[in-house]
Chains A and B, each alone.
Chain A
Amino acid sequence: MSLKRLAGYGPAVVLTVAIFLLWELVVRANLVNSHLLPAPIAIMQALVDNWDVLSVHTLQTSLETVLGLAIATVFGLGLAILLDLSPWIRKSVYPLLITSQTIPMVALAPLLVIWFGLDLTPKIIVVTLYCFFPIAVACADGLASTDPELMKLLHSMRASRWQTLWLVRLPGALPSFFSGLRIAATYSVTGAIVGEYVAAEQGLGLYMKTSASSNAIVLVFAAIVVTALLSLFLFGLVSLIEYIALPWQQRFGQKR
């Protein structure tokens, strides 16, 4: 990464540090009860002290997240291609898709536990339900925005429908697909935690729930920090994959 790009993160770093500094000072000055709102340094301390337990839960949550995200990617891509097949399919399936996003996950998650039990499956389903939508919508939009002139060119070459999709439309939709995937990646960890919060044997959601019910607020915060870091890591990972997969886009500035 170039120095210039690193410098671009400067303002964000400064702001973050400032907020944490203010928080630390407010707690230390006894303006709030440090048991109800632990200071950042105390949270970090708790995180390090409890890492042996936390790491097991983190691993579980990561596994659910990554599996759910992977399934959502395949599912979202497939759905985008399906929506693209004909205006009729688009018209009939799109409203259903949007409706699926209005179902409150906290209501659905307990049902999933009843249907699928306590292990991985219900969490993976929750993550998938959270994540497939932004991927499918972004990708479908990308496919729909193919330059009609380009379609004419392929038509003049007598390309089949699948050739047009494979040679021109899907590669052209990749930047949109990655924007969708980045949004999905940020949602995904939250999805897994919601699933675990309802019922689980392991995972950060369960850890937060048990810590909260035993009044160990500092541990809840420690788990939140891990969650945030995990989300950021996934976001970064998707950006990295995009950077490697689309060399033509990044290296020469976003032309087009």
Chain B
Amino acid sequence: MHDPQKDDLKLVVKGVTRTFSAGRRQLEALAPLDLTVGQGEFVSLIGPSGCGKSTLFNIVAGVDTPTTGAVAIEGDWQGERAGKVGYMPQQPLLLPWRTAEENVMLGLDVRRVPQKEARQQAHELLKRFGLLEFADSYPATLSGGMRQRIALLRTILFNASFLLLDEPFGALDALTRITLQMWLLDLLESFHSSVLFITHDVREAILLSDRIYVLSARPASVLRIVDVDLPRPRRQQMLAEARAVELEQELILLLMKEQPL
């Protein structure tokens, strides 16, 4: 189905391992791991807590290097990866001294885009996605859901073509989570982004993804790859359809086996 050698893939991860040395002990976080993300594809990773998902993200984002194996973005196996992905870490990490709008433009500041232009781009993005009224608020005054939206827009303004989202909705209540899932789908629609997405929530993975990688407990390896053939645009109600429910049960059973007692 997907040929890892093909150059039109957004991301290819090949035989990547990562071993941390903690004092005398060696800690294996990733077993040899293979993974691909196609152009415009939404791929989710689900796996037990602590299995090595964030470790993989750090490697793909160019913040960490694999112990063995290789990673290619847009077919480039050699080049520096930092700067080529929009990375949203597990915590929103908004800068408390910057307003929402200034936080959104952080990536442009790093790219040395002139202030005026950067501000204008951030302003337009906030406007387009209905957050203009919060543009001048400091993060401390925003709700958890609003902070995640701002962090998402910051990620997108830095690099919309390829996003790494590490459990962006993990800390939100169920209703806010659903709202944000729909908001994210809308956002991705207009940017045609390719996405690699981490979640613990099986339903969330089904609702958002084209493909789901199920990972084993640490060291993470791929247990199963499932295609989600629900039509787009996706709606919350689709989760009630027979094939979605079936898939959900299948994934949960698979994950339960990986959960330590």
A contact residues vs B (CB 8 Å cutoff) = 147, 149-150, 152-159, 163, 167-168, 171-172, 174, 246-249, 252-253, 255-256
- Of the stretches B92-100, B113-121, B126-134, the one at the interface is B92-100
Interface of B is mostly: loop
Q: Which residues from chain B contact A167 at a C-beta distance below 8 Å? A: 106, 109-110
B contact residues vs A (CB 8 Å cutoff) = 58, 61-63, 80, 82-83, 85, 87, 89-91, 93, 95-98, 106-107, 109-111, 138, 140-141, 158
Q: Which residues from chain A contact B85 at a C-beta distance below 8 Å? A: 156
B99: nearest chain-A partner, CB-CB: A248
Q: Which residues from chain B contact A247 at a C-beta distance below 8 Å? A: 138
Q: Which residues from chain A contact B98 at a C-beta distance below 8 Å? A: 248
Among the listed A150, A156, A252, which residue makes an inter-chain contact with B61, where contact means beta carbons less than 8 Å apart?
Answer: A156
Q: How far is the CA of A75 from the CA of B40 in the complex (A)?
A: 52
B93 in contact with A256 (CB, 8 Å): no
Q: How far is the CA of A149 from the CA of B21 in the complex (A)?
A: 20
Q: Which residues from chain B contact A255 at a C-beta distance below 8 Å? A: 96, 140
Q: Which residues from chain B contact A249 at a C-beta distance below 8 Å? A: 96-97
B141 in contact with A252 (CB, 8 Å): yes
Q: How far is the CA of A129 from the CA of B141 in the complex (A)?
A: 41
Interface centre among A167, A248, A252, A253 (most CB of B within 10 A): A248
Given contacts A152-B58, A252-B138, A252-B141, are A157 and B158 in contact (CB under 8 A)? yes
Q: How far is the CA of A157 from the CA of B111 in the complex (A)?
A: 8
Q: Which residues from chain A contact B91 at a C-beta distance below 8 Å? A: 149
Cβ contacts A to B, 20 pairs, < 8 Å: A147-B93, A149-B91, A150-B93, A152-B58, A152-B63, A153-B87, A156-B62, A156-B63, A156-B85, A157-B107, A157-B111, A157-B158, A158-B62, A158-B83, A159-B110, A163-B109, A167-B109, A172-B97, A248-B97, A248-B140
